[in-house]
Amino acid sequence: MKSLLNSVSFSGWIAAGVGAAIVLPTYPASADLLQDVGVGAAANVVAGEVLDNGNVVNNAIGGAVTGAAVSVTHNDKGGVLGVVQDAAVGAAANVVTGIILNNGGVGDNAISGAATGAVVGVTTD
């Protein structure tokens, strides 16, 4: 059990580190980024519970990475295309994070990532 707990915790730190290494140098730290990370974490935890996919901690990590990815790629044009882009980025980010963390199924991660990306995109505007 302890080995399992250490491997899950270690993989979570790896995912968080990779996300930070990609996002932080390219985007100045701001309140918007932190807000998007928080909204992403919360939205993905809720989506994971609704879909009964993965566990709460890994869903929060995936949501935080998804929120950061959407924050960085979000365009200010808005409209339907902006929401579609945010959902696509969210789905991709959450699938990759889910694979790294071995958290839930790919399809469910894509659905929850798309929902999380759309929520983050809508709250960004």
3-state helix, strand, coil in the chain (%, to 5): 80, 0, 20
Give me the residue label for tokens 């409209």.
79
pLDDT at 10: 55
For the chain, how many structural domains are there in total?
A: 1
pLDDT at 104: 87
In a domain, 19, yes or no: no
Q: For residues 115 and 117, give the distance between their C-alpha atoms in angstroms, rounded to a whole number.
A: 5
CB 8 within 8 A of CB 16: no
Residues 29-63 pLDDT 10s: 577 888 999 999 999 999 999 999 989 999 999 99
In a domain, 46, yes or no: yes
Confidence of residue 26 (pLDDT cuts 50, 70, 90): low
Range of the domain at 106: 31-124
In a domain, 100, yes or no: yes
In a domain, 66, yes or no: yes
Task: Note the pTM of the prediction, 2 decimals.
Answer: 0.74
In a domain, 14, yes or no: no
In a domain, 4, yes or no: no
The whole-number average pLDDT for the span 107-113 is: 94
